[in-house]
Structure 1
Amino acid sequence: MNTEMDNLHNADGENNSNESTKNDLNTESYKTNESNNQEESNEITLKDYDTFSFDVLIDEAKNLLSKHDVQDIREHFNQIRDAFKNKLEKEEAEKKKAFLEDGGNEIDFRYETSYREKFNVVYNDYKNQLSIHHKQNEKKEDENLAERLAIIDELKSLYQEQNDSSSSMFKKFRELKTRWHNAGRIPAKNAENIFKNYFFHLDNFYTYLDMNKELQTLDYAHNLEVRYSIIKRAEELINEPNVQKALNELQYLHRLWKEEAVPVQEDLREPTWLHFKELTNKIHDRKGELNEKIKQEQKDNLEKKNEIISKIKSINESVANKSHSEWQKAITEINTLRESFIGLGRVPKDKNAETWDAFKKETREFNHIKNDFYKSLKSDQQINLEKKTALLEIAKQHAESTDWNNSVAVIKKIQNDWKNIGHVPRKNSDKIWKEFKETCNKFFDRYKKRHEQDNEKLEQNFEQKTSFLDKFKAAQISEDKDQALKELQSFKSEWNTLGKVPSDKLAINQEFNSLYNSKISDLNLSKAELNDYELQSLVNKVKANGNSSMLDDEIRKTRKNIEELEKDINQLDNNVNFFSNANKDSPLLRDVFKQIDEKRKKLTEEEIKLKTLFNIDLND
């Protein structure tokens, strides 16, 4: 039966085939509140991110992530990421140029900034949230697929079994159509077959409906009521103040018409459709309002930005003979104007490059004049020389140090401080830089050779472990199980405090572990007893130390073990599926089942351990 969808138009007034109508249905539920959500996402303003400072870019990214759904901010984050990368590259080039002009050697140049790490934290948070969103979507699509398959089965049985009265059958049919309408997106690979199957049985039902006049009358009446409700809402949307909201909801109404408002009795089909189509055209005529609003906003932004550029230009023309305090006021004013410029939205596309270039020209001019002014202040350069001299003295104090961790931190800090001090008198620049670099290099040359001393310590550790192992071999362990466990645990704890040994002598650790395991085996403990003891020993150790970081580390390790065990079990279960026709007594299959059982037991032990760790009260 023709369901009248062939004559329908989509919300922008173009013809739409029955096939495309079916494909359009494979979307998330088009409810009114979801249309409003789409409206909100459309209103996220794209800004001139290239004009933002590092701090503003990071704050903008945080703000987007906290206030909007992650799937709605992809374009914004990509633009922010690109702007951030370009700004980093530009600043690195400028820093390198200044470094070389200050007498530095290109091979010694290092560009470090805390902004990179701060931005990466936000961007990684965004990627993690996006990954979670995709996983949730996949799970939801699988649930929707199961729901749609169930609906098809129920629709099929509705007209094939015919066990209900006409009114009851009609009620079930309407419920099935509503459920189908609200079922949501399914995996793309299943979409075509599922929708073809649904419409096949839907047409079969309508064929049955043609033969049952009572059902047909009920269906026509219901669909006509839906049409009138859609038309009423479309009439209200003509006066909706928010044009974008009206257009979004109109899309929903057209989909509702296609899915819930066909067919109706023949003499009402064309009049109701023409009325709805007329309302659609009126709403679409309002697109011009939206476009004009956007154009006007961009025009206003252009005027405001040009005004800011003019103010910066005026400041540039008046600062030539200013005092230091007056310069500070001018810098504050420029920063305020700059933030205002950045905070404004887009301008007309054909004016964007021109406006941005004019802004950069005037701000660079201001910076150039400012730099010339401060470079002329010899007193500041003398202060910088005194600061760098002080850093040189600190470097000399640590040049012969063996307190590696502390001295490395100090040397790196003063190197970073050196970069931030600024210019010194030219006659001193090369000399002090050369002496500072040589002093730092002297320390780092010694730092690279520190492992020679570390090797001596490793040899000492080996000698101590050899002596301790002999002691452990000769030790008489108590015959009482509880006392024996405490004694063995004491040996193991002391062993762990003896430190690392040379890499070519690691076998001594294996020898100790083998002897320890052998003595444990001699106690004839059950697996459960041993696990309980080890777990209780861990709990006692954590409580004794009262160290929350130790507890957190154990929880993290246990979680990781659980994840790996679950992954291994799933993989083994999948492997078993490949042997569905194999003899279950085959050695290969028995080995797989054995591995699965062992890992499941281990998984249970780790889950008990995790639960126990969570229940530890360090204040108890």
Structure 2
Amino acid sequence: MSEKDNLQNADGNVELHKEEIKTTEENNTSNISENVDAEASKVEEKVDTITEDVVEAEVTTENETESEAKVEDEVVETTNESTDTHVEEIEESNAEDAEDESNSERHSLETKDYHAMTMDQLADEFESLVKHQKIQTIKSHVDEIKSEFNSKFGELLEQKKEEFINEGGNEIDFYYSTPLKKRFNSIYKDYKTSLSAYYKDLESNLKSNLDNRLHIIEEIKGLINVEENINTTYKHFKDLQEQWRNAGPIPRDKYNNAWNTYHHHVEIFYDFLHLNRDLRDMDFKHNLDQKLKIIERAEELAKDDNVNRTFRELQVLHKLWKEDLGPVAKEHRDDIWNRFSSATKTIHDKRQAYYADLDKAYEVNLARKEDIISKIDAITQDNGNSHQAWQKKIKSIEALREAFFNAGKVPIKVNEATWAKFKTSVRAFNKNKNAFYKGLKKDQFSNLQKKLELIKIAEDNKDNDDFSTVTPLMKKIQSDWKKIGHVPRKDSDKVWKQFKSACNHYFDKLHAKRNAANKEQIEAYEQKVKLLDQVKAIELSGKPEADIQVIKDNIKAWKAIGHIPSNKRYIDQKFNKVLDGLFGKLDMDKAKLEMLKFENKLENLSQPNDTRLLDNEHNYIRKKIDEVKGNINQLENNLQFFSNVDENNPLVKDVLKNIENHKSSLTVWEQKLRKIKDMY
């Protein structure tokens, strides 16, 4: 039956009951008034406690995006109330909540900056939501977390895939996962399982609730056909209204049609009541009073700057206006609705301005992210091409990546494009980095081959006894090894141990042979140590000739011991020092003593097939002779300035003495020269 037919039937039924209503009007007025007053009390209590209920349930959601406040369904008013955009936004949100009353709790969940979280943090947040929140209230959060996690893992996956291919892998064989990815997938599987079970139960409940509401509508439709006194019918109507309020959620796509049909037949019932004008006016007055209270509260909210809280409470006011209160007298309908709509528009405009400011903040974040991307591009184009330079660039990129994720949200319309641009820049950097290290690995592989060749030479010659030939070769390959660059890290220790082992093997043999050859020299050294101690203990007799003979005998014994290891020759210097001490104690001519010491020195300078030490001493003596002669000539020239001066003059005497000393020194140096010439 169409709505038009319903109206016609209603008019007919009104006529049939006309007489009955007139005769019972006075008796029923007082009873109905009581019912109206009781109903008014209930609704008034709701209006008075709206703020308390909303504030108690409200959790500040400053980060809520505009998309969270929008819903998909469109509400169509069937009264004189207009359907402006600002009203539609409220009713769309209420329609969404109508399907599942707990959906309103989604607004109380704190919206976090998932973009700035690491994959570990995203997994932890996801697990916390699944464990501690109602499964049906977290969908938008889960979707955002899943999107961010997949984006970050996808970036990692691309990087690992590129490395795999660069190392020679086949793309078709590539596979990569992590324990974190498996954990995230497990959480998501649990979420989907729980959500599926919830919606399966919800579907059954929604259908049952819809059937119940449709049954209530049918009962309201039938009230005008019931032959009973108006008081009983009115009480029945109020009971059905209460049942409607408590009937529970229904499918979202059925919400508006069901409510419009319900509202339509409620108005028909009020038209049915118009025969009892006092009763109808009393109900209209009650509805007007309560709607005025709602308007006053809405106008208070219009002055509040917390746009999210006011929108939440405004939703409740609209739901109460629409579902809990009936119509008012026609002469008031447009006025009160326009006033309520005006307050709603003020809140709506504030909310739009808030999101406009939010978009401006997002634009600032966008500029910051664009700057970060530019810096990544600049680092990518940097010409530094050493391992150290690349390590520095890698650290810089990691810092920029973290800064990008912490830069905050950008406008939704450019979010995907910005993310794609960021990934492209990072991918370009990684491509260059991988190309560098791929070339570095190529060089390292070449270095490895060179070192393997040196290892082969070392191992081929480690047992060779031709020491005079092999020793220079082994020293050369050791020098060449140091000049070769890095090899792959996995091979570094292995090849070094091989090379070191072969070289040590050879040089251990060399040292063993040298030690055998030097055994006699070591024994000679030990004999010289003993003789040195004996010489240190010599006590001179005071008789020069006898003491000189003792010294010469010890010198002869020292020379008879033979050669000692080159690294032990310092003992000869100790012996000569002791001899100098003994010579210094002799009571004899200094010139003779000097020649004795010189003869001993010459014995030490004389080396088989090596005259370098004698040559150096010969040159030294020649220089000293020339130096002394020069001094004598200078002093003799100075005497020419003392003409007609007595030789007893102290100054002249001093010059003459110096000349004499130099001549004596010259005699000794010339004797030394003759001695050294005899050594050749």
Q: TM-score range by the shorter chain?
A: 0.3 to 0.5
**TM-score, scaled to structure 1:** 0.48
* Bigger CA radius of gyration: 2
**TM-score, scaled to structure 2:** 0.44
